[in-house]
Structure 1
Amino acid sequence: MRLTKKRFATTLAATSVALLALTACGSDSGSAEPSADAAGGPSFLTAGKLTVCSDIPYVPFEFKEKDSDKIVGFDMDIAAEIAKDAKAELNVIDASFDSIESGLFKSQCDIAISSLSITEARAKKMNFSTPYLDDDLVLVAKNGSGITDLETSKDKKVGVQQATTGEKYAKEQGLTQVVGYEDAGLQTQALLAGQVSGLLGNQSVMRYSIKDHKDFAVVAEFKTGEQLGIGVPLEKDATLTLVDGTLKRLADSGEMDKLKAKWFGEQ
């Protein structure tokens, strides 16, 4: 079954603006060229800059590197590649997820990349790129906890991120002690501290959160059909062509698989 939401608006407003010029990686060969439209190609809000809205932090997609203001992550690596193909400087704005989901990001940014699930409701407010990541749900628990599936979780405390498909799915499946957290970091900390017995959330974030903790493992997977896409304002057809071109280049060259392995481990 396909769930229609992944990340909703958090209680955090957009309070800071982070400007980031990332060094392009990889070879220039095979770079996607922006396709021309009536205006001669993608038109950006600021000439020479590709401005990207992202709700920061959301590890491992977008977050500040430890002891640094540098913004890194899976989404940021992809954004850098799009900027390279556009021959533009990358400018990243920390925006609330509400402004992204509602499509209002178009007043601030040229595109939005923020672990954004493709849904019919959102597609009425923005164009979506081709999907760049499948992101089903998983259940995580400590080895030997007795949690092996949803049935063995029903009377245990299970941590979820508030207003996500993980929370929605947990409640739909009859889990009685669902504990909501504002972000995935707090959710993971609760598991490591023993405050909850398991976690339910998207496989990308959950696998990243436990990859250095060998006492914990993914005990069940749930095929929800969630796919992530990059949001582009409805009227920006040439920008959408640029974004899709970059994603195709990364997929065809194998670079996308390398980025996935870098951030989520071998799948």
Structure 2
Amino acid sequence: MQLKSLATAKMSAKAAALLAAGALTLTACGGGSSTPAASEGGVKLINAGKLTVCSDIPYEPFEFQKDGKTVGFDIDIANEVAKDLGAELNTVDSSFEAIETGTALTQCDVSISSISITDTRKSVMDFSTPYLDDDLTLVANTGSGIKSLDDAKGKKVGVQQATTGAEYAKDKGIEAQQFEDTGLLVQALQAGTVDAALGNQSVLGYAIKDDPKFKSVEDFATGEKLGIAVKKGNTAMLEKVNGTLKRLTDDGSLEKFKTTWFGQTAK
């Protein structure tokens, strides 16, 4: 119950912030005196001199707070995109529901938050070239008796809401408990509130790597690939983002980022 209340409070806070930003955007557009977006290197930015990035925090090791700063694999990439634009990085904490529906792009130039590329999401936003392969996994307490997804039926399984993991659980007949972010999901797993968690290998594998009480019991080859999202039709920004990803791939930086945050397991 305590975790559920915390998740609800956090979701409400993020939703309120997003709605407020949306209201400001609508106000600016409605009076005929709206200020056009600032331009950096031929790309229009919402805020002059800043690349505003929406991200669901925490989602280790992609984005999380450490020593008062937002860090992680996605943040390293976001910093490189900002650098190529000659802009400062401005990270906005948004709910993943707002990110995966494209709503977050009303207040951000791009969304970088371990977003799996799906046909449904492609209908409301445009995606960069993929920057990471990330299939699903089922993680369970070693004393739970869960060794497969079939074993998990009838048990307490947690997922992050609005994710491919949540959709996969539903398709497989798992009545999962949904959490607003993976931080709360991992807390529930560690506290024993849930017996298992279903989600992306990168995040859940990172969360349990130093804890012998948990293990990955089954992987699911879903072919998921992660991409950076931009507003539908924003080809100038998309080209810049893809240019940065190509540079990072060609000079080996992307591989270094993967090793830093995932070890040798990321693809």
Alignment TM-score, normalising by the size of structure 1: 0.78
Q: Secondary structure at the match of 2:44?
A: coil
Distance 1:80 1:187, change over 3 A: same
| Residues 155 and 73 of structure 1: CA distance in aligned 2, closer, same or farther (over 3 Å) | same
Partner of 1:109: 108
CA contact (8 A) 2:14 2:93 kept: no
Aligned pairs (5 A) from 1:67-216:
68-143=67-142, 145-175=144-174, 178-216=176-214
- Letter of the 1:89 partner, please give it: E
Structure 1 segments (4+ residues) deviating >4 Å: 14-17
Secondary structure in structure 2 of the residue aligned to 1:186:
helix
* Contact map agreement 1:14 1:94 (CA 8 A) in 2: no
Distance 1:226 1:235 in 2: 23
Q: Give the Cα separation in 1 of the matches to 2:179 and 2:104.
A: 25
Show CA shifts across 1:152-198 (max 9, x none).
Answer: 2224322222333223322322336x333332222222222233322
- Give 3-state SS (helix, strand or coil) of 1:242's partner: helix
Residues in 1 aligned to 2:106 and 2:185: alpha-carbon distance in whole angstroms: 32
After TM superposition, give the deviation of residue 43 of structure 1 in Å. Answer: 2.3
Supply the AA of the counterpart residue of 1:183. Answer: D
Shift in Å, 1:84:
1.2
Which structure carries more helix by proportion? 2
Question: What RMSD in Å do the two structures reach over aligned CA positions?
Answer: 2.4
Using the size of structure 2 for normalisation, the TM-score is 0.78
Per-residue Cα deviation, 1:7-26 (whole angstroms, up to 9, x for no partner): xxx55525669xxxxxxxxx
* Structure 1 stretches lacking a partner, 5+ long: 1-9, 18-38
- CA distance in 2: counterparts of 1:150 and 1:254, whole angstroms: 37
CA–CA distance in 2 between the matches of 1:14 and 1:40? 32
| Structure with greater contact order relative to length (CA < 8 Å, sep ≥ 6) | 1
CA distance in 1, matches of 2:123, 2:173: 31
* Structure 1 equivalent of residue 243 of structure 2: 245
For residue 244 of structure 1, report the CA deviation from its aligned partner.
0.5
After the TM superposition, which residues 219-230 of structure 1 pair with which residues of structure 2 at under 5 Å, given as runs?
219-230=217-228
d(CA) in 1 for partners of 2:60 and 2:246? Answer: 24
Instruction: Work out the number of aligned pairs and report it.
Output: 234
One-letter code aligned to 2:151 = T
Change over 3 Å in CA distance of 1:109–1:219 after alignment to 2 = same
**Structure 1 partner of 2:233:** 235
Kindly tell me: are residues 130 and 158 of structure 1, through their superposed partners in 2, closer, same or farther at Cα, counting changes over 3 Å?
same
Q: Which moved more, 1:242-251 or 1:179-188?
A: 179-188
